[in-house]
Structure 1
């Protein structure tokens, strides 16, 4: 849920710090007071399109920040956070967005800089904003199949997994078959190319770690003089009259005399003796090294040429010798496949035929499941529409094709999500044909259809907060009361914000925020006040009667609040 919202220098808002509760929050106030501005700010916070026009006059930037809390580790935003490398602690998510006068947008999620597209993708899992003419997901026919799958997730999810596993193999096999079935001229050109590449790799006779060994040898040759001088000086420091070994030999002789006179010096004698014999070995090794050390300018040229050859191959076939050899093995396999093309095509065709049969069976099973759940969804939405006084309305989940229509496997349009193409259809008047939901245009009817769908899908979509921006426009009387009850039902499973002019909706609210415009110091600003129970009665009275609030309107407001309390508690 959205717990806190901070808005600075946004439109006519100088600074607002709001805290929200779970359940239904109603936002009311006079027209033009700034109710929709708050929703616009939330819309921008979750990745909506920004404009410098939103920045308060005279300021350099507008800032919006929101704190969301997630209690469910399976919430879609948790997966998004892992995908984008965003750390989450205790289920807390902080979204932040700045819009500067130069048009620059700065977006952050939990302090990490992100692009607007990432913010939008992340925000779409947290907030769903519905206006009277905003169809969003429910009005997007391409998402209707996804919504049906969410509704029947308990059974459909496993069937989709089974289908997807086979579909992945089917796609890979189909891709390999298409590649092998390309025209012979292209295939011949490809064969010539990779045969040349393989010969080049094989002729190089590469050995693993060869380049590292050559670089090490190159370093030695390039530093030959320094190496020779170091070894020679080391040898001369030990060997010769009045040099290291001479003095240690003298030390050992004197320690032998001391040990003969006093046994407690025997350990020291042993240490000195060990040092002497060790240094004697080192002296012999240094002598051998100097005897074998020889500068080979031709060898240095050989190494340079070999390293150049290896680097050329790296640029063509891989970043390392290991990568080059792996590429060589890969194209060797491809050469074998192209050379024996006909037999491989035959094998792939047989495999593809088997996969098509398996895919059809899994797809048909998935389709049958979807049709069963589509019937349940139809019944559930029809029931919701009856409660919204649209009992004559017919809703249908329409499948645009049937698996029975395909006589040949080759004609079946296998897709990654199954065999089905689904769209929601509706008829709002008796005798009228069913039409696509996306073409329903009546404001009052659309509001009720949207609410019916939202009541069903809010339990399945995992959206943290749902915002209704005057979706109750164009309704009154018993329909208004039904809409208020439906919005309250949605708030049981999701935090709901509702901008409304209906007193019935305001009466249902768990939290009532009153938005008003004030003028101070020659500037207009928007302020928000959480109403007390008495203030709520007065505001609902104003919504009922208009400007003048009488005792009768106050009594009517009390009755609405009492009715709302009874409905919510029962």
Structure 2
């Protein structure tokens, strides 16, 4: 329920604050006084499209605030919890500020939100219907949604079951189509991976092999240089008549003869001994290297060929042996997985066929339940229309069958409302035959039905009673009041019958204050309501008879 509404610098309203109670409240006044501006303000609080045109001339911004009480049947608390918006004592305070720059600042219970979130929240708070708000009725593709709103206990569960199967079906169907589209590319990739795997495998690559080959190549390339160095080293140390070892051996023998005479002689003797034995070992090692050194003239070519293979592999598959072998493992895993490709395809086709069968079954069950709901909706609408003096009306929810149904997220059903208000005339699409007044009554009949089902906080009617009079006007008044027994109703009206049945009546007037137009809102007392209803009955010239008629309307409404 909308408790409080505050407006600042909005259109021709400089400042306005109004409280609303339960039941039915009407807003009346002369044409152009600004009644619809108040409804526009409520619409903006519900996330409606904003514009700088709403800002009062001379102001830099407009500010709208609304305080709502959320009933227990309302599902808004669940949404607010998802949005991490606190809800205290069931109170929701919404504010919206529109600046000259076009910037919107929206808050819900102090938390900043965007207009998309505001719109989502608004769907749980206020339902606004104006003179041109019949578009849902006038668009056949919305009729299925209206039918689903009049849901049985089973229908929501059937819709959810169908939706889950449909989403799985669409996902699997997409996979199948992608497979078919990419089959050629996949086959080409398999050929490429097979070639790459065989190329790497045939190379029989080993980690560290390249560095070993380069070292061996280095030795082979310098064979003659190495052989000469080793021979010369051996000759210098122990070969020939004047070998170094002989000289060191002579010195060692000389020092051994005097090493016992002094400590320093002993140290010299020990050092020479160590040097002699080390040089002797070096000479022997050089000789062994000479004996072991062989040259295979073809080996160098083999090494160059092998290194070239490794270079080619590195250029294609990685910068090192580790990377090449890692890539080889990866493509082998992909090739292994590809061997199961056909099996997967068969499994995918079976899965799709199973889902398609389940989808058809779920769609048929949903359609059957909708048809049951449609019959009940038809009966309910005809009952409401009879109370609105359209008792001769025939109304039908038609299902359009197809040999090749198209399955969508909403199911397979194509639905449209058909109606005739003239006995003997065939039923035709509602969007083509209903007049403005009839559409208002059909919409009102639907709203009466749906207000019994939904936990909507407030319903706003903006001159939906235009174009009717007499007993039809009274019937519409009674129907709006009936709706207000379940939801708060705010109603802008020019009909005295509707104003009379309201629990509360506000009068809106436009005045010139300081050369500026101002809109004001007043809560009418009983006596003021008599005068206002009288004005609505007779216009400017109010006679005693008019007053009596107004009193009678109010008295009958009270009963």
Residues 1:114 and 2:113 are matched in the alignment? yes
Match of 1:430 among 423, 431, 456: 423
Distance (Å, rounded) in 2 between the aligned partners of 1:134 and 1:333: 62
Distance 1:497 1:158, change over 3 A: same
Q: Please state whether the residue corresponding to 2:411 is helix, strand or coil.
A: coil
Bigger Rg, which one: 2
- Comparing 420-429 with 491-500, which one deviates more in the overlay? 420-429
CA contact (8 A) 1:181 1:345 kept: no
Classify the secondary structure of the residue corresponding to 1:460: coil
* TM-aligned CA distance change 1:154 to 1:400, over 3 Å: same
Which residue does the alignment assign to 1:419? 412
Partner of 1:53: 53
Q: Is the 8 A contact 1:187 1:338 kept in 2?
A: no
Measured after TM superposition, the shift of residue 332 of structure 1 is: 9.3
* 1:106 to partner: Cα distance: 1.5
Q: Distance in 1 between matches of 2:110 and 2:193?
A: 49
Report the CA distance between 1:87 and its aligned residue: 2.6
In the TM superposition, 1:260-299 aligns within 5 A as: none
1:105 aligns with 2:104: yes
Task: Give the direction of change, closer, same or farther, for the CA distance of 1:415–1:518 in structure 2 (3 Å limit).
Answer: same
Rounded Cα–Cα distance in structure 2 between residues aligned with 1:78 and 1:334: 50
1:513 equivalent in alignment to 2:512: no
Match of 2:217 in 1: none
Deviation at residue 190 of structure 1 after TM alignment: 6.1
Tell me the residue number matched to 1:187.
186
Instruction: Give SS of 1:53's match.
Output: helix
Q: Deviations over 1:313-342 (max 9, x none)?
A: 9xxxxxxxxxxx9xx99x999765543332
Contact 1:514–1:531 (8 Å) recurs in 2: yes
With normalisation by structure 1, the TM-score equals 0.70
5+ residue gaps, structure 2, are 198-317, 319-325
* Aligned residue runs from structure 1 range 21-36, under 5 A: 21-36=21-36
CA contact (8 A) 2:126 2:460 kept: yes
Gap change, CA 1:536 and 1:45, over 3 Å in 2: same
Query: Measured at CA, do residues 168 and 565 of structure 1 come closer, stay the same or move farther in structure 2, by a change above 3 Å?
Result: same
Change (3 A) 1:535 1:472: same
8 Å contact 2:152–2:373 — kept in the other structure? no
CA gap 1:114/1:142 in 2 versus in 1, 3 angstroms:
farther
RMSD over equivalenced CA pairs, Å: 2.9
Structure 1 197/17 Cα, relative in aligned 2: closer, same or farther at 3 Å?
A: farther
Q: Distance in 2 between matches of 1:552 and 1:156?
A: 55
Distance 1:181 1:131 in 2: 52
Which secondary structure state, in structure 2, belongs to the residue aligned with residue 108 of structure 1?
Answer: strand
CA distance in 2, matches of 1:508, 1:492: 12
Question: Are 1:123 and 2:122 counterparts?
Answer: yes
**Shift in Å at residue 361 of structure 1?**
2.0
Match of 1:452 among 445, 452, 455: 445
| Residue aligning to 2:372 | 372
CA distance in 1: counterparts of 2:333 and 2:134, whole angstroms? 52
Output the CA distance in 2 between the equivalents of 1:523 and 1:559. Answer: 39
* Count of residues in correspondence between the two structures: 431
Partner of 2:148: 149
Structure 1: gaps (5+ residues): 199-312, 314-324
2: CA distance, partners of 1:89 / 1:197: 67
Structure 2 residue aligned with 1:87: 86
Please state how far the C-alpha of 1:197 moved relative to its aligned partner: 13
- Rounded to whole Å, the distance in 2 between the matches of 1:197 and 1:500 is 81
* Preserved CA contact (<8 Å) 1:470 1:501: yes
Q: How does 1:95-244 map onto structure 2 within 5 Å? A: 95-188=94-187
CA apart distance, 1:548? 2.2
State the shift of 1:26 in Å: 0.5
